[in-house]
Structure 1
Amino acid sequence: MMLITTVNFFSALGEFSTSTFQSTTPVVEISINSLNQQQATFIWFQLLTDVLLYQPKITNKVYSKMLEECRHFYKDNSTAQKSIDEFEIEYTSDKAILWYTRPSFLANLLNTALRTENMRTTLQFRDFIVDIYQQLLKSCSSTNYKYPFTVYRGQSMNPMELKKLKSNVGGFISFNTFFSTSLSSQLALSYAGDKYCSPFYESVLFEIEIKTMNANKPFANIRYLSYRREEDEILFCMGTVFRIDYVVQLLSKIWHIKLILSNKEVHEIDALMSGVKSEFDKSLTIYNLGNFWHERGEFAKAIDYCKLLLEEFDADQTAMSIINNNIGLIYESRNDYDIAIKYFDKAIELHGAP
C-alpha cells in the first residue's frame, strides 16, 4: 500500500516555480505587444490568478471534476481514496486551509498543477483555490500586524531557477503557488536543504520584509486555520508580487534572497496590470482570458486555452457560446476563414438554444 506523501510547506525539493518581471520602460508605457516572453509569462499568471480568484462559484460540478481527477491520480492508493471520500462528505469552504495544510491528496496535486502550468487540473481546482483565497482574505482583514515585519522560507532550488532570480534583482517576482513562510529564521533555515547532500540543488533562505498591509493578494498567519497549529506559518496567496532586493551567497553556501513588499511595489503592479487590462474591449474573465495570447499573435496558445475551456464548461451553454466565438475570432485572425465560420456557427447555435 502506498501512503500519501507528507507535504513540507517550508521546503519542497525542486517543487518551486516563479514568474519574474523586469523592465527599464516605465510601467505606464508598457503594452501587451511590447512584452518579451518572460514578461508575458509574468503578466499571464497575474491575469490567470485574478480570473480564478474572482470567478463566481456556479455549481458543485467543479468539485466533482476535481475529485474525479484526484481519484484517477491516486487510483492505486487506498489511503488517498479514503481521504478523498472523507473530503467529499465533510468539506466546507471554511475548512479549505485545514485541508490544504493536511497531509493529504490535495496540496500535492494543486501545487504541482500550478507549478507545471497544468491548466486542466488548475481549472478543476478553481473553487478550492477560491476557498483558500477567501479564508486568507478574511483572516488578513481581521488581523492587526505591526509593520514592518519579516518572514522566512527555507528552500532547495533548481540552479536554473536561482539563476533567473539573480538576473532579475531589482525586478518583480511572483510565486506561482500558495507560498508558506515562517516567523522563525532558524526554523526556515532547517528547511533550506544541504548543498552537499543535494548537489544538484541550491540551498536558499528567503528573507521577506513586509512593509504594507495593502498587498495585491492577501496573506495571513494561519496557525488557527491550519492542520499544524503548532507552527506560526504565514501563508501568501498565489500570485503575490514582491521586489527582489538582492541575491547573495553566504559563507555557509546558503543563498540569501531578500524580497520586499511595500506600497511602492503594490502601486507599480497596480499601474502595470491596469494598463494591460485597458487594452481589452471587455473585462477579462475565465472565458476570454485567451484573448491575451490572441492579442500577442500567439494563436496556438490562445486556441489551446480555449479548447481546454470547452472541456471544462461543456454543460454551460452560455459559456460554450462565448468560447466558440472566441475560437472563431482567433482563426479569423489567422486567415483560416472556413474554420472560423464553423466556430461562429456553433456559437450562434448554442446562443439560440433553449
Structure 2
Amino acid sequence: MGNQTLTTIAASGTVAINTTTADSTAVLPRPVRRVLQNFLLVWLDANIDESNENFKKPLQCLRRIVATITTFTDVDECIDFLSGIQNEKVFMIVSGVLGRQIIPDIEACAQLESIYVFCDNQSIHEQWTKTVPKVKGVYTQIEPICEALRIDRENCDRAMISISFNGIDALFMYTQLLKETLLDIEDDDAKSIREFVDYCRLQGDIDENHIDKFEREYRLHTPIWWYTGPYFIYSMLNRALRLMDVDIILKMGFFIRHLHQHIETLHREQQSTNTMTSTLFQVFRGQGLSIENFEKMKRTKGGLMSFNNFLSTSCNRNVSLEVFARPAAFAGPYSVGILFVMTINATSCKKSSIAFVDVNKHGYYKDQEEEILFSTHTIFRIDRMEQINDYHTDRLWEVNLTLTVYDNMGEYSKALSCYERSLEIRKMALPSNHPDLAASYNNIGMVLDNMGEYSKALTWYGRALEVQKATLSPNHPDLATSYENIGVVLDNMGQYVEALSSYKRALEIRKIGRPSNHPDLADSYNNIGLVYNNMGEYLKALSSYQRSLDIRKVALPPNHPDLATSYNNIGVVFKNMGEYDKALSLYEQSLEIRKVALPSNHLDFAQSYNNIGSIYKCMDEYLKALSYYEKDLEVSQKALAKNHPDLGKSYNNIGEVYDKMGEYSKALSYYERALEVWKIALPPTHPHITVVNGNIENIKKRL
C-alpha cells in the first residue's frame, strides 16, 4: 500500500487532525468521532486537497448541511473507519473510480445510509450504480448533492427518534419517569446555558458560528424556534434521548424544560381561542423504522408505544407519505417505510395534561409548514397495521395510532406506580403549593378513577384543586377541569347533588373564559344533563343535553365522537321516559358515528351495545337484548380492570335478561358476579348494591 492521507475538516475551516503521511507499516491516527449528532459525512477521493479551489467551494456548500466532514484518500483506511461506527448513520461522497472499488465491500453496512457519487463523467458511472440501492445519484456538481444530503439528513434524524414499546422495552416506564424528573429540576438557567455552550465547544463537531449564535441570541428566540431551526439542537437532543446519554440529557435539561413549558403555554392559548383543540382529529408522520423496531411494533399491536422525544407531526398526509415514508421503504433491506396515522382526542389531552401546539406561526419556518408538535414522551396505542400497496416494495406500511395516557390499556398498577414515584421526586424538589404537584395529584386521581376506586380518586382530585386554588386565578380553566373531574367521581359514587354543584361551578368558570359555542361548554352542559338524568329529573336533563348537542353541531365535524355521546345521552332520557322507539333511533345513530370515528375496541362501543340491549329488554325482545349485552361485556372485559364498576353493570344486565327468560340459575350467577364487583368498587350505600341485592333475594325465592 502506498502513502495514505486522512483529514478531518471541522466546520470552522480548521483542520482537526493534521494531514498524516505514512508508509504501509505506520499506524495512522483515527479521526475524532462525533458524539453529538445522529449522522456523519465521509468523503473518499484520492485527490482531496482543501487548498485546491476545486474542493474549497464544495466544502463550503457541504458545511452548511453538516458540521464536520471526515475525508479519506485511501480505500482501506475508509473501510476500517466505517467498520467501527455503531451508533450513527453515515452519508458518503465518493469519486467514481474509488466508488467502483469500495462500494461492493461496504454497501451491506447497516450504518451506511446514502452514497453520492461525485465525478466528471456521469454517463459512465450511472451504468454500474443502477444496481446499488444506496447510491442516491451520480453528480457532476456539488449543489444537487447538498440538496439531496439536506433531505437525507432530515430523514435520518426523523427515523432515529427513540421509540419504546410497553411490555418489550424495559425503558418504556423509566423514560416516563425521566421526563417527570427533568421537568421538575429547577436550576440557574444562565449557568446551565453557559455550561452547555462550553461543552459544545469542547466537542469540536458543531459549527462554531452556530454555537456563538445560540449563546448570543438564545433569549431572543423561542425554544420552538431553536428546535425547528437548521441548527444542532434538534439532532443533538434526538441522539441523546435515543442513546439515553444521561450526560448530554442533563446538560440540555434547561432546554427540554423550556421547550416543554413553551408548548404548554401555547397549547393553553390555542385551546382557549381555537375550537379545533377540543375535537377529534388526525395528524401524520412519515419515517423509516428499523426492522428490529418494526418487529417489536408488530408484537405490541393493541398495546402502547412511546416516542421518547418531542414529536413532530404533519397535518398533510400526502407530504408525510411521499416525502418521508415512501423514500424510507427504499433506503435498504434494514429499513421499513412507515406512515403513522395518529388520532388525537384533544378533550382527553386536556384532562390528562398532554400538550401539543400548531407551530406554523411559532417555528423557524413560519407559515411554511403544517406542523403539530407534541411535548416529549407521548404515548400511543397501536390500533392497526396495514401494508400500503406499492408495486416496487413490500416494506411500506400504514400504522394507525391513538393518543393515550399510560393507564388507558389496563396498565393501572404500573401507571399508578409511575405517577407515585414522580410525585415523590416532585415533593423533594418543589414547594408544597407548586402547580406541578397539582398535576401529579390529578394524574394519580385519574388512574384511580379509571380503576373504579372513586373514594381515593376524590381525595387526590381534591388535593389538586386545593393547590390550584392557592396558585391560579379564580377563573383559570384548570380549575374548571378539576371541578369537572370531581363531579365525575361524585356522580359515579351516587352523590348527585354534590356532583351537580361541582359541574355547575366548572360551567361558571368556562362561561367567563370561553366563547359561547366552545366545546368545553358543551361538555359542561352534557355533564349537568347526566346528573339530572340520574336524579330522575328528565326534562331538565333533556334541556341540558340539547344545549350540549346544539353547540357540538356547530363546533364539531359531523362524525365526531362527542356528537355520538350527545345522541346517546338524549336516547337515555327518552328511554327513561318510556319513549323506546325514539331512544332506539338515537342509540343507533350514535353507534353509526362511533363505527366511523373510533377503533373497534373502544370502550364507547360497550356503552352503545349496553344501551341498545336495554331498549330491546324493555320491548321484551330478550334474545336481541342478550346479544347486545354480551357484546357490551366482551368490550368491557378487554378495556377495564377486573373490578371496575361498569363490569358490574354488564353482569347485572345479563342477569336481568336471564331472569326475564326464566333461566334463574344463570341469572343468579350473573347477579352474584355483579355484587362481587360492586362490593369492592362502590360504597356499601350505593344504589347499585341495593338493586342487585334485591335481584338476588327475588331470584332465590324462585329457585
TM-score, length-scaled by structure 2: 0.36
Q: Distance in 1 between matches of 2:180 and 2:338?
A: 29
- Find the counterpart in structure 2 of residue 219 from structure 1: 356
Are 1:275 and 2:417 matched, yes or no? Answer: yes
Give the structure 2 partner of residue 249 of structure 1: 387
Where does residue 154 of structure 1 map in the other structure? 286
Q: 1:117 Cα shift?
A: 0.8
Shift of 1:268: 5.8
Q: What does residue 21 of structure 1 align with?
A: 166
Q: Is the 8 A contact 2:360 2:370 kept in 1?
A: yes
Counterpart-to-counterpart distance in 2, 1:109 and 1:213: 33
User: Which amino acid in the other structure matches residue 187 of structure 1?
Assistant: V
2:285/2:314 contact within 8 Å kept: yes
**Residue 85 of structure 1: aligned partner:** 212
In structure 1, give the amino acid aligned to 2:165. Answer: T
Q: Does 1:195 align with 2:293?
A: no
Tell which has more relative contact order, 1 or 2 (C-alpha 8 A, sep 6+).
Answer: 1
Seen in structure 2, the aligned counterparts of structure 1 residues 130 and 213 have a Cα distance that, compared at 3 Å, is farther
Q: Residues 82 and 286 (structure 1 numbering): CA distance in 2 closer, same or farther, change over 3 Å?
A: farther
Output the amino acid matched with 1:138.
T
Task: Select the structure of larger CA radius of gyration.
Answer: 2
Q: Which residue of structure 1 lines up, in the alignment, with residue 267 of structure 2? A: 140
| Structure 1 residues 147-195: Cα deviation after superposition (integer angstroms, max 9, x where no partner) | 1100000101111011111110111111111111100000101211242
Q: Which of residues 238, 255, 271 in structure 2 aligns to 1:128? A: 255
* 2:326 is aligned with 1:181: no
Contact 1:18 1:174 in 2 (8 A): yes
Give 1:191's aligned amino acid.
Answer: F
Rounded Cα–Cα distance in structure 1 between residues aligned with 2:427 and 2:331: 43
* Corresponding residue of 2:242: 115
Distance 2:344 2:209 in 1: 40
Q: Using the alignment, how far apart are the partners of 1:9 and 1:217 within structure 2?
A: 26
Residues 303-350 of structure 1 deviation map (CA, whole Å, 9 limit, x = unaligned): xxxxxxxxxxxxxxxxxxxxxxxxxxxxxxxxxxxxxxxxxxxxxxxx
Match of 1:153, SS?
strand
Separation in structure 2 between the aligned mates of residue 171 and residue 93 of structure 1, nearest angstrom: 42
Contact 2:283 2:342 in 1 (8 A): yes
- Partner residue in 2 for 1:210: 344
Asked if the contact 1:10/1:181 (under 8 Å) is kept, the reply is no
- The answer to whether the Cα contact below 8 Å between 2:278 and 2:346 also exists between their aligned partners in 1 is no
How many Å separate the matches in 2 of 1:212 and 1:129? 23
Q: How does 1:60-75 map to 2 (within 5 A)?
A: 60-73=190-203, 75=204
Map of 2:400 onto structure 1:
258
Across the aligned residues of Structure 1 and Structure 2, the Cα RMSD in angstroms comes to 2.8
Q: Which residue of 2 aligns with 1:284?
A: 425
Distance 1:264 1:67, change over 3 A: closer
| Map of 1:296 onto structure 2 | none
Shift of 1:199: 2.9
Matched residues in 2 for 1:197 and 1:255: separation? 14
Structure 2 contact 189–254 (Cα < 8 Å) conserved: no
Q: Does structure 2 conserve the Cα–Cα contact (< 8 Å) formed by 1:17 and 1:161?
A: no
Q: Give, as a single letter, the amino acid of the residue that structure 1 aligns with 2:371.
A: E
Match of 2:301 among 157, 162, 169: 169
Greater shift after overlay, 82-91 or 188-197?
188-197
| Contact 2:343-2:403 within 8 A present in 1 as well | yes
Give the counterpart letter for 1:55 in structure 2: I
Shift in Å, 1:264: 9.0
- Residue 266 of structure 1 deviates from its aligned partner by 5.7
Greater fraction helix: 2
- C-alpha displacement of 1:41: 1.4
Q: Deviations over 1:75-124 (max 9, x none)?
A: 255xx211111111111286111011111121111111011111100000
* Aligned match for 1:3, one of 64, 67, 72: 64
| Helix, strand or coil at the partner of 1:174 | strand
Counterpart CA distance in 1 for 2:218 and 2:385 is 41
In the TM superposition, residue 207 of structure 1 has moved relative to its aligned partner by 0.3
Structure 2 CA distance, aligned partners of 1:46 and 1:110?
16
Secondary structure at 1:223 match in 2: coil
TM-score calculated relative to the size of structure 1: 0.68
Tell me: CA distance 1:267–1:170, structure 2 relative to 1, closer, same or farther (3 Å): closer
Q: Provide the C-alpha distance between the structure 2 equivalents of 1:9 and 1:142, rounded to a whole number of angstroms.
A: 30
Structure 1's unaligned 5+ residue stretches are 23-37, 289-354
Secondary structure of the residue that 1:56 maps to in structure 2? coil
Structure 1 residues 223 and 119, CA gap change in structure 2 (3 angstroms) = same
1:68 & 1:142 partners in 2: Cα distance? Answer: 35
* Displacement after TM superposition at 1:60 (Å): 2.1
- Offset of 1:247 from its aligned partner? 1.9
Count of aligned residue pairs for this structure pair: 269
The letter for the 1-side match of 2:312 is S
Amino acid aligned to 1:139: L
Q: Deviations over 1:117-151 (max 9, x none)?
A: 11100000000011110111011111132511000
Tell me if the contact between 1:158 and 1:200 (Cα under 8 Å) persists in the aligned partners: yes
- Pick closer, same or farther for the CA change 1:68–1:264 going to 2, 3 Å: closer
Contact between 2:162 and 2:238, CA under 8 Å: does it hold in 1? no
Residues 148 and 99 of structure 1, relative CA distance in 2, 3 Å threshold: same
Q: Which residue of 1 aligns with 2:549?
A: none
Distance 2:236 2:294 in 1: 24
Q: Determine the C-alpha separation between the residues in 2 that align with 1:21 and 1:224.
A: 35
Which residue identity lines up with residue 169 of structure 1 in the other structure? Answer: K
Residue deviations 1:207-258, cap 9 Å, x none?
0000134434311111111011200101111111111112222212311111
Matched, 1:232 2:366: no
Q: Percent identity?
A: 28
